[in-house]
Structure 1
Amino acid sequence: MAEPDPRGRRRAQGALETQVLAALQQADGPVTAGWVRERLAAGLAYTTVMTVLGRLLAKDAVTRRREGRSFVWLPAADQAGLAALKMRRVLDGERDRRAVLASFVTTLPEGDERLLRELLRHAGDGD
C-alpha cells in the first residue's frame, strides 16, 4: 500500500485552519474549542480542534485567555491577516530579503504591482 502524500496532509491542515478561523470570525466574542468543534463539519475530534487552535496560536492568528478551567479563543487576524503572517514568516526565513522581495515584485501581475506601489506610497505618508 502506498503511503499518503504528506503534501496532501499539509493542505488538509491548512484547510482546517481556514475553517477554524472562519468559525471564530463568525462568533460574537470569545468561544471555547468545543463551540468551534460544534460548528465544523466532518465530526472532528476535540483534540484535532485543539491541535489546530494551537497551531493558529503559534502563528499569531488567534489569541486565547483562561476562563474558568478552560480557554476561550478569538481570531487575531482575518483571512488577509493570516495570509500576511504566512508571507512574513516565509520572508523572515530567508537570508537575502532583498532578493526575495525583488523576485516577488517582478513576478506580480501588472495590476498587483501597481496596487503594491500604491499601498507602499500610502504607508510612507504615515511617517
Structure 2
Amino acid sequence: MRGLGDLEAAVMDVLWRAVEPLRVRDVLAELNTGRQLAYTTVMTVLDNLHRKEWVVRELEGKAYRYEASMSRAEAAAKALRDILESSGDPEGVLLHFARSASERETELLRKALPRRSRKE
C-alpha cells in the first residue's frame, strides 16, 4: 500500500483480516513475514501506524487493542487519489485509467456515480 513500508503493510494486512481489534501479541502471532520479529518491533510499527492515522487504538487494561481506521478498499482509494494528485495531470491520468477499465468496472462506475439532472 502506498505510503507504507513492507512491515507496516504486513501489519495492516493482519488488521484488515481481523474480525475484532487486536493486541500487539495477537498481531505478532498472525504476522507471516518470513523472519522472527520482536514484540517491541511490532509495538513500534503499530504506534507509527497510529501516529499516521492508519489505525485506531483503545486501552484495555494495560494493553492497547488496535484496528484499521479504514477498510482496505478505502485505503486503496486514498492511494489512487494521492497518485492522481501527484501526477501533474490528474484529468489525463483519470481518462487513461477509465479507458483501461473492463466492461464490469465501467458498469460499476456508472452505477456508483450520481445521476445529474439535465437542468444543472
TM-score range, shorter chain: 0.5 to 0.7
Matching residue of 2:29: 38
Correspondence for 1:74: 67
Task: Note the residue ranges of structure 1 that are not aligned, 5 or more in a row.
Answer: 1-11
- What code does the residue aligned with 1:38 have? A
Deviations 1:50-107 (A, max 9, x none): 454324752x432234567664321112222221121122123233221121121112
Classify the secondary structure of the residue corresponding to 2:66. strand
**Residues in 1 aligned to 2:38 and 2:29: alpha-carbon distance in whole angstroms:** 10
Shift in Å, 1:45: 2.6
CA distance in 1, matches of 2:113, 2:18: 31
**Aligned-pair identity (%):** 31
What letter matches 1:110 in structure 2? E
Contact 1:65 1:73 (C-alpha < 8 Å) held by counterparts:
yes
**Greater helix percent: which structure?**
1
Q: Aligned residue for 2:18? A: 26
Distance 1:38 1:87, change over 3 A: same
CA distance in 2, matches of 1:27, 1:111: 29
Q: What is the Cα-based RMSD across aligned positions, in Å?
A: 3.3
Where in structure 2 are there 5+ consecutive unaligned residues?
Answer: none
Please report the TM-score for the alignment, with normalisation by the length of structure 2.
0.64
TM-score by length of 1: 0.62
| Separation (CA, whole Å) in 1 of partners of 2:60 and 2:85 | 34
Question: How many pairs were matched up?
Answer: 110
Secondary structure (helix, strand or coil) at the match of 1:63 reads strand
Shift of 1:119: 1.0
CA distance in 1, matches of 2:40, 2:28: 10
**1:115 to partner: Cα distance:** 1.4
